[in-house]
Amino acid sequence: MARYDEATRTIRMLDKHCEVLSRACIENQGIIVDEQDGAKAIADLQAHRLVFRLDERDPYVQVNRVVSELFHHATQNYRRRLSSGAVDDLFDQLKHAISGYLATADRGLMRDQKVYESEIQEIVAHLIDTLREITQRFAGYVRNEFSMVSDLSQRIRENERAIREASQLNDLFATLTPDVLSELARSDRLLSHLLKKVLGRAVSSCADELHDALHKLRENLSKLQDDQRYREHNELIDTLLQHYQRNPGYQPGLEQYRSIPRIFRAAERLELKAHPPIDSPTEERALSDIAQQALARIAADEQPERQRQEPPLVPVKDCRDGVFLAEPEPVEQALRQMFEILPQLAEQQPASSLACLSYLDLEIDPELWLVCVADHYANSDYAKGDRLSMRFRERSLPGYSGNHLVEDIEFRLVSTAEYT
């Protein structure tokens, strides 16, 4: 008898604290926290070994596995009922009842029509309840973020499953359009009211709610996936650092792998080089042509060299507005030459001012040259919106916040389309 009594008392205790246990098992991973309200329940449940405390210092108790499984079993039917399949079934039943209703109405069978009428009302009410319950279930998922599952991977899987189900349900809602419902209702007053107004409104509000839930579930999933990625990365860092500490001088190697994995196959920089076969007699003619062309180019290049030796005189105003001819300033001349050639130089890639300086016959400090270039550009037509844009190549000076050292000035040719 004592055994029966014990069983009865335990079942009563479950019934007494059903609410606390339900909340713990369904929403809180089977944990009951020591709170004002929970203290009495914990004491009762502990007395019947329905909960246990692993460590006396823990501020919570864990529901016994057998009790958790009981709740899981009890909610199985609910979960099955709340699948989108259930909505499908109900909708099929509704269509069947509507066709029966319309057929009896056509034939004037009033009594049978009444039977179908009440069946349709019942199905519509049931359908609305089911839709609401399902959408609320998804809202619940969003609210508790599957906190009843402690394992992150499992939580991700649950979230993915919920998204799949919600997407299926969303597809179903997409089929319950006003047109479809209107077609089902035809011109019948009762059906129009039930399907277009009552069901239509419920479907629309549930679809909105589901849409929100789906969006939040996706956000949750992305957050959970990030968390998992970070956790795995952290684990990897700690593991390898521990490995290095335990095995000083550890060096991984690739030699032992028969096939090198793709991740270690990163190709080195490919050098594109070509060497002319200068000793080959078959290429003698071609080489001779190249050499002659090069000589001709040098001869052409010598022309401006001669001109440089005798620079043209330019008119210069003195302080009394008197004009006389003088040799141009070498810097000014160099700047003019550089800006003449810049549009061609900057056509393919940015042209560097310092690189230009190295080709000019000018002895000047690079810093001063850059100042002159910037000044010349600012006073030129290019700065007034022509097709040449200027950019400083600079780096910040460590220790002098906000100060930058200009290392070079680059010019780029702005394309006509870009310019327009």
Partner 1 sequence: MSNATFRHVTEKLLQGELLCEVSDEAGYLYLQLEDNLDRVNQHLAVLGRGVALTSDMTGYYCVYLDVEDKGVRNRLNHQFHALATKWEALLMWLRLTRQLSPEAHPLSARDILKESELLGAIESSSALQAELESIAQRFQMRGKVDPRTRLNQLLRFLEKEGFLVERHPSVYQATARWSMLQDQMEFIRQQEGIQLADREHDQASAQEQEQLI
Q: How far apart are CA 405 and CA 401, in angstroms?
A: 12
- Identity of the residue, 16 or 53, whose beta carbon is nearer to partner 1 in the bound complex: 53
> Is 151 among the residues that bind partner 1 (CB under 8 A)?
no
Which 8-state DSSP code applies to residue 281? G
- Identity of the residue, 261 or 315, whose beta carbon is nearer to partner 1 in the bound complex: 261
Span near partner 1 by CB under 8 A; candidates 25-33, 175-183, 396-404, 408-416: 396-404
Return the SS3 of 315: strand
Please pick, from the candidates 268, 301, 318, 321, the single residue that binds partner 1 as defined by CB under 8 A.
268
Span near partner 1 by CB under 8 A; candidates 144-152, 169-177, 248-256, 277-285: 248-256
Q: How far apart are CA 379 and CA 193, in angstroms?
A: 80
Span near partner 1 by CB under 8 A; candidates 95-103, 230-238, 290-298, 333-341: 230-238
List residues bridging with 351 in a β-sheet: 411
> Is 52 among the residues that bind partner 1 (CB under 8 A)?
no
Q: Comparing C-alpha atoms, which of 90, 84, 80 is closest to residue 174?
A: 84
Q: Cβ of 238: how many Cβ atoms within 10 Å? A: 10
Binding mask 184-223 for partner 1 (x = CB under 8 A): ----------------------------------------
Return the SS3 of 371: helix
Which 8-state DSSP code applies to residue 384? G
> Is 269 among the residues that bind partner 1 (CB under 8 A)?
yes
Number of amino acids touching partner 1 (CB under 8 A): 39
Please pick, from the candidates 240, 291, 296, 313, the single residue that binds partner 1 as defined by CB under 8 A.
240
The packing angle between helices 18-27 and 65-81, to 10°, is: 70
Please pick, from the candidates 175, 187, 259, 348, the single residue that binds partner 1 as defined by CB under 8 A.
259
- Identity of the residue, 375 or 418, whose beta carbon is nearer to partner 1 in the bound complex: 418
- List phi, psi (to 5°) of 276: -75, 140
> Is 270 among the residues that bind partner 1 (CB under 8 A)?
yes
Q: How far apart are CA 340 and CA 329, in angstroms?
A: 17
> Is 236 among the residues that bind partner 1 (CB under 8 A)?
yes
Span near partner 1 by CB under 8 A; candidates 97-105, 292-300, 345-353, 391-399: 391-399
Cβ 393 vs Cβ 331: under 8 Å: no
Q: How far is the CB of 261 from partner 1 (least distance, A)?
A: 6
Amino acid letter, residue 322: G
- Identity of the residue, 246 or 275, whose beta carbon is nearer to partner 1 in the bound complex: 246
Please pick, from the candidates 57, 73, 262, 275, the single residue that binds partner 1 as defined by CB under 8 A.
262
Cα 146-150-155 angle, rounded to 5 deg: 45
Q: How far is the CB of 42 from partner 1 (least distance, A)?
A: 25
- List phi, psi (to 5°) of 24: -65, -45
Q: How far apart are CA 4 and CA 16, in angstroms?
A: 18
> Is 242 among the residues that bind partner 1 (CB under 8 A)?
yes
> Is 241 among the residues that bind partner 1 (CB under 8 A)?
yes
Q: How far apart are CA 17 and CA 40, in angstroms?
A: 10
> Is 273 among the residues that bind partner 1 (CB under 8 A)?
no
Q: How far is the CB of 250 from partner 1 (least distance, A)?
A: 8
Q: How far apart are CA 305 and CA 308, in angstroms?
A: 5
360, two tokens:
């000019």
- Identity of the residue, 1 or 263, whose beta carbon is nearer to partner 1 in the bound complex: 263
- Identity of the residue, 253 or 281, whose beta carbon is nearer to partner 1 in the bound complex: 253
Return the SS3 of 175: helix
297, two tokens:
């180019």
> Is 229 among the residues that bind partner 1 (CB under 8 A)?
yes
4, two tokens:
């029966």
Please pick, from the candidates 1, 3, 108, 253, the single residue that binds partner 1 as defined by CB under 8 A.
253
Please pick, from the candidates 76, 147, 204, 239, the single residue that binds partner 1 as defined by CB under 8 A.
239
Cα 310-314-316 angle, rounded to 5 deg: 140
Which residue, chain included where needed, has tokens 């000047």?
364
Query: How long a stretch of residues is the chain?
Result: 420
Q: How far is the CB of 350 from partner 1 (least distance, A)?
A: 14
Interface positions with partner 1 (CB under 8 A):
229-230, 233-244, 251-255, 257, 259-270, 395-396, 398-399, 401-402, 404
